[in-house]
Amino acid sequence: MIEPRRITVELGFRSYPIVIGDGLLGGNFDLAEYVRGEDCLVVSNVTVAPLYLEKLRSNLGGKKVAALELPDGERFKTTDSLHQVLDQLAESGANRDTTVIALGGGVVGDIAGFAAASYMRGVGFIQVPTTLLAQVDSSVGGKTGINHAQGKNLIGAFYQPGIVLIDTDTLQTLPERELKAGLAEVIKHGAIADIDFFAWLEDNIEALLAGQPDALAHAIERSCEIKAEVVADDEREAGRRAILNFGHTFGHAIENSLGYGELLHGEAVAIGMVMAAELSDIEPASRERLRDLLRRAGLPVSPPAVGAQRMFDAMSMDKKVVQKQLRLVLLDRLGDACVTTDYDEGSLRRVLEAAE
């Protein structure tokens, strides 16, 4: 076991730690001290609970631990699943001292977090992410929510956890395709904020794909540092935080047009980043570096044939539309992103034509 790494998300009295290490689940970390009262509800799913619920129980010595296993999949990120969590809280007589613990990937984390934000206007909340994507992105920063037929993550709340506990050992059971999808968000962090990290990823992508523990721990730590810094600067996405959505406006439109579940979120974001780079005024060589790294990570880089108009319509539902104008996250250069409305609509349409 290596010494756990610790990063703080600096949000004043709501600051919280992200603890990253191997062997943390199974009693090696006292999570009980972060539980608000005596009762917790672990929200997981039918895939993750059989693998890690019992281990997590031994991190919660002395607490009363109930559990709920949701069905597995993005298509269950719905009001029905949210209500299952709320029903269990209400029927067990949970109060504001109850702590909801999300054990799973981003789907479980987003639903459980929204339930924690909504029940009695806010109960305790802890994130125990078990996918690479959730460890480097969705568990950090307090975005929670569910999907609506009209758009992804359309209903939700900002609600920060009290701690994010990342046991990198959980990645050993993660399907390879999911690991690659998580790498898309890791690569995103390099592309938007740290060219040195991007170059490190170019040198270490094979080690990451092979599940090499030190390489994964570094990629998770640097991603969390970047995300923590951006969130501390702009928690509610009034401005700069939107850079974390690099590739997401195109990616969400692809997911929405294809139907959720066809592509993994990280796969759609990979294609979206290539499209956003196409529209960015950067060196062609930088575009090629991004495309090449994503390709080497085993990610798709070309849009499926969903139709340019359909993608354009889906993009107009994006949360970054302000006064009918779509703001996009583009690159000023590789390693530096901006949020802008300063792009040519004709060029956007040409980029979308790749989806014909």
The catalytic residues are 121, 143, 185, 227, 237, 241, 245, 248, 252, 265
Q: Which residues on neighbouring strands pair with residue 45, listed in sequence order?
A: 70
Pick 56 or 60: Cβ nearer ligand NAD: 56
Q: Which stretch binds ligand GLY (CB under 6 A): 30-38, 41-49, 240-248, 291-299?
A: 240-248
Q: How far is the CB of 91 from ligand GLY (least distance, A)?
A: 32
141: contact with ligand GLY by CB under 6 A: yes
Phi-psi region of 73 (alpha: psi -120 to 50; beta: other; left: phi over 0): left
Which of 66, 79, 157 minimizes the C-alpha distance to 113?
Answer: 157
| 284-288: long-range contacts, CB 8 A cutoff, minimum separation 24 | 286/331, 286/333, 286/334
Instruction: Give the binding site for ligand NAD (CB under 6 A).
Output: 45, 47-48, 51, 72, 74, 77, 104-108, 110, 130-131, 133-134, 137-138, 141, 143, 152-153, 170, 173-174, 178, 181, 265
Can you tell me the distance from the alpha carbon of 290 to that of 271, in angstroms, rounded to the nearest whole number? 11
Sign of CA pseudo-dihedral 75, 72, 79, 158: negative
Among 82, 108, 135, 143, binds ligand GLY (CB under 6 A): 143
Q: What, of ligand GLY, ligand NAD, none, does residue 241 touch, CB below 5 to 8 Å by kind? A: ligand GLY
Q: What, of ligand NAD, ligand GLY, none, does residue 222 touch, CB below 5 to 8 Å by kind? A: none
Q: How far is the CB of 80 from ligand GLY (least distance, A)?
A: 24
Q: How far is the CB of 108 from ligand NAD (least distance, A)?
A: 6
Q: How far is the CB of 283 from ligand GLY (least distance, A)?
A: 26
**CB of 115 closer than 8 Å to CB of 89:** yes
The alpha carbon torsion through 224, 129, 334, 204 (nearest 10 deg) reads 90
Closest CB to ligand GLY belongs to which residue? 244
Pick 110 or 278: Cβ nearer ligand NAD: 110
Among 244, 271, 328, 329, binds ligand GLY (CB under 6 A): 244
315 token code pair:
């993009």
137: contact with ligand GLY by CB under 6 A: yes
Q: φ, ψ for residue 187 (rounded to 5)?
A: -60, -40
Among 245, 256, 257, 280, binds ligand GLY (CB under 6 A): 245
Q: How far is the CB of 175 from ligand GLY (least distance, A)?
A: 22
Pick 101 or 184: Cβ nearer ligand GLY: 184
Which of 148, 232, 227, 144 minimizes the C-alpha distance to 188?
Answer: 227
Pick 4 or 156: Cβ nearer ligand GLY: 156
Strands 151-158 and 143-148: antiparallel
Q: How far is the CB of 141 from ligand NAD (least distance, A)?
A: 5
Pick 69 or 137: Cβ nearer ligand GLY: 137
Q: Which stretch binds ligand GLY (CB under 6 A): 14-22, 78-86, 241-249, 326-334?
A: 241-249
Q: What, of ligand NAD, ligand GLY, none, does residue 107 touch, CB below 5 to 8 Å by kind? A: ligand NAD
**Distances in Å between the alpha carbon of 355 and those of 148, 289, 317?**
23, 22, 18
Q: What, of ligand NAD, ligand GLY, none, does residue 104 touch, CB below 5 to 8 Å by kind? A: ligand NAD
**CB of 164 closer than 8 Å to CB of 17:** yes
Question: At what angle are helices 265-279 and 345-352 packed, to 10 degrees?
Answer: 140
Strands 39-45 and 64-70: parallel
Can you tell me the distance from the alpha carbon of 72 to that of 47, in angstroms, rounded to the nearest whole number? 7
**Distances in Å between the alpha carbon of 294 and those of 162, 232, 250, 283?**
33, 28, 16, 17
Which spans of this chain sit near ligand GLY (rule: CB under 6 A)? 137, 141, 143, 241, 244-245
